[in-house]
Structure 1
């Protein structure tokens, strides 16, 4: 029997379809809690990493900004490196006890800075640097936690959550930086505590138990791509140097504090525009080539021109550089979900080099800000320009090789699949069902990680243009990878591919 609507009785099929559509577009309360927590966490990280908010009297100089922020990013890179080598990473990011411990560590730095501001006492510099390192490690930990939480949202919702959370975080950054010192630091503490509280109410990752074999497979078959590592390292270095320049101008009162908040909002708006109008430009190789000429011009203005033109050039240049960083993080947020591997593993492995580059960039900015280093400013600009030009050559010759892992792994024997707990959501069951079959086919036919991503969309019946838009790669790349998939599987049509994947069972080897 049908149900009543304004036009009379609707058929059961129509009713079921309508319920499914509404369900697909509706976030649960726990998912909303996770997205809200991710927004507040993003705002707190941006405030600490790209503003002078947590500077004390002893560290509120351009040199000390570079050293403290460089220490923070170095600790973040170190934590990401440890996570990629840690076998119990999933338990680490899912343990409430560990999360509470890292929250306490994260609150140490802003808490001490607030006490210094109110009580006017000075903490030894050694301890301050230690607090910055601890804050960086805790920030990296919660980045992995949020990557793990986001994986439960699904592909399209991950994109939406990343974009809108980042845009709202930029607005929060602008609002907090507009507050007086003690009020801004208090707001920062509330951001950290609120994000943790919302995290506790968010859904856990659905891939921890069901995809352990995929994680082991990727760990055994993948390695860092020299080309991709170089590009991410250069991006990070440039971002660190220019961010240090902007933060120094803000601390001196040359630029208003709201500059950083406005910069992050601009990044979100540009990303939204490109994702809607020209999503293929967000492929890492293409977005690099499109923005590199602007980077070269900005570096020339920053390194060879005097004030105020170098100051005018710094914020737009930072927006361009952080757009590259944001694109990298967005791609990584999807990659773990598509490959059905540990999200925190994939995120930490892909973020290591760009975060390390930012640490080097902040340290370089600290050197340039010293009396001895001021004479090296032009040399530093020339070195960066040379790196960018070399980067242009690399990206032009190999535009589709911006890989998180090498594209041609050695075949290995797949480990047996562990038992998993049943899903309660029918849609999630179907989605996970196809992911596991694609993972089995990927191992059975020695497909690369990128080919495994494309295979998942091909099984869903998507065409090359749709896949290119979803993965932010060139359509030509998708077609080339599809041809390689067909060759390896010995097929000639998408329907044959679907039939083979459907026939896959856990533990198949052919």
Structure 2
């Protein structure tokens, strides 16, 4: 039976709901005491470290093997991701009735981390098809919904809460499969390599340092989860995602990652100053504040990577390359914290000062080698950053399909970016009447009545990748 397909823009709310289940599972695994309570407090930190190591291991595999992900053939990776996440939930359910060895738990957490990375890399298959600047808002909206689901899962008593560890990733993968089979262009893939972006060389290093800083706060938070209300954790997640959502929608619809780094640097200075000088009573409050910053920067990074990878022949390799440094930095600081706590616990009081030293190094780096906004290689003739990969090519193809003149094609670029007739007239040094006449002729040739219809046509135009 032929499946009726919709444009990806109409499916983004559904996709956000599926991604919300994924984030709820991640938050519930790391930031709830229930999944690791069978192992005890100390062992739970090792299990969560195994989860982080699994995340990095899977991303390294994708980085080493570029053709692991395929959009054209029957994709086995959703099933693989489901199988990797199943032992995690099943072992937690079994632990209520049987004795599960610590080694089995450690393997299950490691495999769950691998499954997390596979699902994380699968979702861009949806968001990259019709990437525009507001996709970041849909990503952060999924985190907001995920925080609500996380709170609901925390209210369930074992073993019912452990059932959520099984159901949430399966629900996310089910929605992913549904969306991918019901959107236009989900299987198109470039045939030849083409660099889509210019990346700032120090971005990977700075993100790794940010990851190390977040790892310190997450370690402190996970070591004291029994003293933290899940509502406070959900509120911190919502604040971070809400900040990204607000900046995405209200400011520029796409906040460049270099700007996001500067804002995160400032917020982290506030958080770690609080950890260093406000005393142990407010330690968890500061950790929750830093958790919100982590959520904000993580989604800024993810939004940038999805945009950067759009139209690239190895998009998931690019996303894995850009994302793996964040958990790698978290693993490094997590291990350092564990070593300090086990060898000389009194030195742990100096960890916030170590974090402030890293922040000072980042500030000096920003002063002498400023964080640069990674910019899209695909630009208009005016050099403006445009809405997504292959924007100009899609406009050219749409103009060719509807037999527009050269001047009308030039005006089409501006219309597809949401510009009005007066703006076009000022840019092209023509009268507003002439600009409106060209717009009228474009609408007539394309058989449309509004600018929104024009934008939808350009978004859905399929191009031959050169």
Q: TM-score range by the shorter chain?
A: 0.7 to 0.9
1:17-56 counterparts in 2 under 5 A? 27-28=10-11, 33-56=14-37
Does the 8 Å CA contact 1:67/1:363 hold for their aligned counterparts? no
Whether the aligned pair in 2 keeps the contact of 1:228 and 1:404 (CA below 8 Å) is no
Q: Name the structure 2 match of 1:359.
A: 331
Unmatched segments (≥5 aa) in structure 2: 1-5, 378-387, 398-409, 420-462
Distance 1:146 1:341 in 2: 16
| 1:24-63 Cα deviation digits (max 9, x unpaired) | 89725xx5543332221121122223333310322x31x4
| CA deviation profile, 1:429-449 (whole Å, cap 9, x unmatched) | x96943898xxxxxxxxxxxx
3-state DSSP of counterpart to 2:280? coil
Tell me, in whole angstroms, the C-alpha distance in 1 between the residues paired with 2:276 and 2:339: 14
Residue 60 of structure 2, aligned match among 50, 75, 81: 81
Alignment partners' CA distance in 2, 1:152 and 1:86: 22
Partner of 2:79: 100
Kindly indicate whether the alpha-carbon contact (under 8 Å) linking 1:178 and 1:258 is maintained by their aligned counterparts in 2. no
Identify if the C-alpha distance between structure 1 residues 400 and 207 changes in structure 2 by more than 3 Å, giving closer, same or farther: farther
- Equivalence for 2:450: none
Aligned partners of 1:34 and 1:202 also within 8 Å = yes
- CA distance in structure 1 between the aligned counterparts of 2:288 and 2:225, rounded to whole angstroms: 11
Classify 1:279/1:156 alpha carbon distance in 2 versus 1 (closer, same or farther; 3 Å).
closer
Alignment of 1:121-140 (within 5 A): 121-140=98-117
Distance 1:295 1:156, change over 3 A: closer
Aligned mates of 2:159, 2:208 — CA distance in 1: 35
Task: Encode CA deviations 1:438-492: one digit per residue, 9 max, x unaligned.
Answer: xxxxxxxxxxxxxxxxxxx9993389999xxxxxxxxxxxxxxxxxxxxxxxxxx
Measure how far apart 1:109 and its partner are.
0.9
- What SS does the corresponding residue of 1:122 show, helix, strand or coil? coil
Relative distance call for 1:208 and 1:89 in structure 2 (3 A) is: farther
- Aligned to 2:202, the other structure's residue is in SS state helix
Pick closer, same or farther for the CA change 1:96–1:284 going to 2, 3 Å.
closer
Structure 1 distance, partners of 2:395, 2:215, is 38
Q: 1:301 to 1:258 in 2, by over 3 A?
A: same
Contact 1:64 1:366 in 2 (8 A): no
Answer yes or no: is the 8 Å Cα contact 1:239–1:322 preserved in 2. no
- 8 Å Cα contact 2:19-2:172 kept in structure 1: yes
- What secondary structure, in the 3-state scheme, does the structure 1 residue paired with 2:180 have? coil
Q: CA deviation at 1:402?
A: 5.8
CA spacing shift, 1:279–1:395, aligned 2, 3 Å: farther
**2:237 equivalent among 238, 254, 264:** 264
- Deviation at residue 327 of structure 1 after TM alignment: 1.0
Give RMSD over aligned pairs. Answer: 3.7
So what's the TM-score if we normalise by structure 1? Answer: 0.68
The residue aligned with 1:240 is 215
Structure 2 residue aligned with 1:444: none
Whole-Å separation in 2 of the counterparts to 1:435 and 1:352: 34
Q: Which moved more, 1:105-114 or 1:66-75?
A: 66-75
1:177/1:258 contact within 8 Å kept? no
Change (3 A) 1:393 1:435: farther
Q: CA separation in 2, counterparts of 1:24 and 1:460?
A: 21
2:316 maps to 344
Q: Which of 228, 231, 237 is the aligned partner of 2:203?
A: 228
Question: Match of 1:488?
Answer: none
SS of the residue 2:328 aligns to? helix
Q: Measure the CA separation in 1 of the matches of 2:251 and 2:327.
A: 27
Give secondary structure in 2 for the equivalent of 1:91. Answer: coil
Judging changes above 3 Å, is the alpha-carbon distance between structure 1 residues 464 and 401 closer, same or farther for their aligned structure 2 residues?
A: farther
CA contact (8 A) 1:242 1:317 kept: yes
Q: Return closer, same or farther for 1:309/1:45 CA change in 2, 3 Å cut-off.
A: closer
